[in-house]
């Protein structure tokens, strides 16, 4: 953090502006773990090891799919936000991996994303219970560690680091838990008011932020100050994978989600979205071709279109594996393609 004397702070404030009107992604999620798993998969010929690694890759992709749902909502919020995706931070002996840190003009928001299968009930003690049904019959129910406690801990660690290094002083740090699996039903009728306010579905996130921005705050950041705080957060991000998302609890629930999704996803649902997605991709291809005064197949071919529809990549790494999509095209419109695919794959 830049240290300034009184007059420098006044000058900095006077030169600041409030021109930012839409979100910017300051940091994207790392795919280091995915690349590491892929390298291990290619390096072994043992069928059992390949099976286990392939499953780990699927689990990583499932978690990434939930986070991309949230990223899509944030990027299309039309709010002045700084979005930092996948932040790893440490305070003394405490470490935390934060799915999202979102900087607004009035507060910082820490978002914990859950892409679990099954109906989630929060009882009158604010305990989380997951119920899994097969053919309308309850198969089992179980309690699991409160994701609210998890995100509270993350917010505390972030706040300690930022205040210790004088990046913030009186900036409020809020936190929410966002469930992204479209099949999940949230039952919060018995939950406390406080819990009901911070446990959301993905499509409720922007409304939450908008509402909170209407509340009073001890701060109001202009553009340069927002950039300075974002840089401060990034300066304490530790990219090395000292902590993974696949801790024992998350790994178990995501594994069950993966198995259930494979068994229960019905073809009619995917067929419905398939035609909508194809139409959206064709429309996007035509728009890009018109802008560049090119033929549509120069943007991507019909063969590439078919692969996009079949594989539905949700990360830049997955997109690069599609025939006809190289680094130049990923840089040119990779994020937009992923957003389109995410929009029509998660209804």
**Which residues lie across from 187 on neighbouring strands?**
121
Q: Where are the domains of the chain?
A: 20-263, 267-345
- Segment 171-219, tens digit of pLDDT: 999 999 999 988 888 999 999 999 999 999 999 999 999 999 999 999 9
**Token pair of 257 as six digits:** 């989600």
By mean pLDDT, which of 94-98, 113-117, 132-136 is the weakest?
132-136
SS (H, E, C) 68-101: HHHHHHHHCCCCCCEEEEEEEEEECCEEEEEEEE
Q: What is the model's pTM?
A: 0.70
Q: pLDDT digit string (tens) for 217-236?
A: 999 999 999 999 999 999 99
Highest mean pLDDT among 89-93, 158-162, 184-188: 158-162
Average pLDDT, the chain: 84
The residues, ordered by sequence, that sit 6+ positions from 165 with a Cβ below 8 Å of its Cβ are 1, 232, 236
φ/ψ (deg, to 5) at 35 = -65, -35
- Residue 194 parent element (H or E): helix 193-198
Does the pLDDT at position 265 exceed 50?
no
Share of the chain above pLDDT 90, in %: 46
CATH class assigned to 267-345: mainly alpha
Which of 9-13, 107-111, 136-140, 201-205 is predicted with the least confidence, judged by mean pLDDT?
9-13
Q: Which of the two residues, 5 and 220, has the higher pLDDT score?
A: 220
| Contacts (Cβ under 8 Å, ≥6 apart) of 346 | 65, 69, 180, 182
CA atoms of 276 and 210, how far apart (whole Å): 29
pLDDT at 118: 79
Task: Answer yes or no: are the C-beta atoms of 114 and 67 closer than 8 Å.
Answer: no
Q: What are phi and psi of 201, to 5 degrees?
A: -95, 165
Q: Of 174, 156, 207, whose CA–CA distance to 106 is shortest?
A: 174
In Å, how far are 8, 96, 158, 168, 321 from 219, measured between CA atoms? Answer: 19, 26, 18, 10, 44
| Distances, alpha carbon 147 to alpha carbons 71, 126, 150, 153, 166, in Å | 19, 11, 5, 10, 28
């Amino acid at each position: 953090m830049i240290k300034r004397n009184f007059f420098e702070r006044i000058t900095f404030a006077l030169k600041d502006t409030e021109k930012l009107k839409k979100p910017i992604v300051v940091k994207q999620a790392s795919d280091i773990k995915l690349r590491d798993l892929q390298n291990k998969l290619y390096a072994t010929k043992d069928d059992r090891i390949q099976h286990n690694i392939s499953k780990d890759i699927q689990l990583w992709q499932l978690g990434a799919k939930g986070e991309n749902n949230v990223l899509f909502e944030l990027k299309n919020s039309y709010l002045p936000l700084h979005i930092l995706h996948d932040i790893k931070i440490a305070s003394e002996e405490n470490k935390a991996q934060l799915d999202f840190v979102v900087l607004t003009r009035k507060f910082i928001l820490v978002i914990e994303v859950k892409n679990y299968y099954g109906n989630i009930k929060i009882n009158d003690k604010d305990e989380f219970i997951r119920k899994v049904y097969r053919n309308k019959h309850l198969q089992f129910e179980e309690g699991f560690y409160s994701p609210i406690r998890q995100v509270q801990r993350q917010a505390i660690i972030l706040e300690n680091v930022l205040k210790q290094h004088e990046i913030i002083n009186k900036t409020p740090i809020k936190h929410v838990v966002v469930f992204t699996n479209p099949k999940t039903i949230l039952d919060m009728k018995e939950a406390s008011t406080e819990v009901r306010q911070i446990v959301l579905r993905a499509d409720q996130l922007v409304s939450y932020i908008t509402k909170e921005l209407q509340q009073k705050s001890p701060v109001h950041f202009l553009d340069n100050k927002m950039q300075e705080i974002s840089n401060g957060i990034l300066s304490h991000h530790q990219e090395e994978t000292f902590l993974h998302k696949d801790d024992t609890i998350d790994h178990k629930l995501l594994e069950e989600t993966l198995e259930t999704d494979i068994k229960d996803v019905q073809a009619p649902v995917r067929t419905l979205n398939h035609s909508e997605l194809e139409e959206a991709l064709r429309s996007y291809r035509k728009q890009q071709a018109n802008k560049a005064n090119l033929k549509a197949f120069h943007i991507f071919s019909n063969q590439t279109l078919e692969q996009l529809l079949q594989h539905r990549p949700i990360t830049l790494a997955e997109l690069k594996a599609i025939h006809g999509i190289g680094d130049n095209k990923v840089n040119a419109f990779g994020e937009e393609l992923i957003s389109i695919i995410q929009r029509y794959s998660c209804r």
